[in-house]
Amino acid sequence: MSLESSTPTASEQHEIHRANSSGKQPVVFVHGLWLLDSSWDRWAAFFEEAGYVAVTPGWPNDPEDVAAARADPDVFAGNSVGDVAAYQQMIIEQLDRKPAIIGHSFGGVLVQMLAGRGLAAATCAISPAPSRGVLPLPVNALKASSAVLSNPANRHRAVTLTFDQFRFGFANAVSEAEARELYEQFHVAGSGIPLFQAAFANINPGTEVRADKTNPDRGPMLIVGGAEDHQAPTAIAVATAKQQRKNTVSVTEYVEIPGRGHSLTIDAGWQEVAQTCLGFISRFVN
């Protein structure tokens, strides 16, 4: 990780200070590939209306907004899962209270890693990408990832999805009109490294894409799967929950949401998913 990306941005530092000054229970939202932290804006407002304070960190070197990201997509190249996990941990460790954490897609892997380090009061992993120990590789997941994995050179590149690739991987369960709106509003390039890391996690004993599932300080965890998800099919979510249930101290639960694809955190039905996570988290932290 570069020196300039090892400290919070001004915006992130403001959120940390705001959270610490509020006296409220913080909730940290971790985005995945091909999105920015702004994808959580509605979730942040939703949780704050429920009495929490939101922190929405980006990944190292994330641009400020979608327009800036599209103007310089190469800025995303180079982030590994380990880099991003270290960055998120640095943010969390500056909070006065242990946060609840919510992540989507690769963010769903990252929050498992952070929880496994004892950094979470409660965790919600939504449509998580596979990590070491999660064996299923469904055909749809391979097809959705082929935009990156089909060319080994993409490991060191930032890859922008075409609309058709986004439609298949993210937005297959919404109308084409909504899929186009989501693509225009949210989609940005993503680092190729995490997808290659995930693809080889079970054959690379030194992989960064691993979570400590048995740490007694892991805290309660909810895994959420979308029944129509192509990018991270429910077979991956179910296997993730099975792995996390190796933790005999903390609660592990699984919820499958019918009719939803990988865009379930940003599409018109986002509030159903947010309410599911809020209901879980509020049982343990407030």
Q: What is the mean pLDDT of residues 133-149?
A: 78
**Whole-number pLDDT of residue 7:** 86
Q: What is the tens place of the pLDDT at every residue in 23-66?
A: 999 999 999 999 999 999 999 999 999 999 999 999 999 999 99
pLDDT band at 275 (very low <50, low <70, confident <90, very high): very high
Q: What is the tens place of the pLDDT at every residue in 11-29?
A: 999 999 999 999 999 999 9
Inform me whether the pLDDT recorded for 4 exceeds 70: no
CATH number of 3-282: 3.40.50.1820
Mean residue pLDDT across the chain: 93
The share of the chain scoring above pLDDT 90, in percent, equals: 80
Inform me whether the pLDDT recorded for 2 exceeds 80: no
* Residue 81 phi, psi dihedral angles, 5° rounding: -60, -40
Q: What is the tens place of the pLDDT at every residue in 82-135?
A: 999 999 999 999 999 999 999 999 999 999 999 999 999 999 999 999 888 887
The residue with greater pLDDT, 247 or 131, is: 247
pLDDT band at 3 (very low <50, low <70, confident <90, very high): very low
Q: What is the tens place of the pLDDT at every residue in 214-239?
A: 999 999 999 999 999 999 999 999 99
**27: β partners:** 54, 100
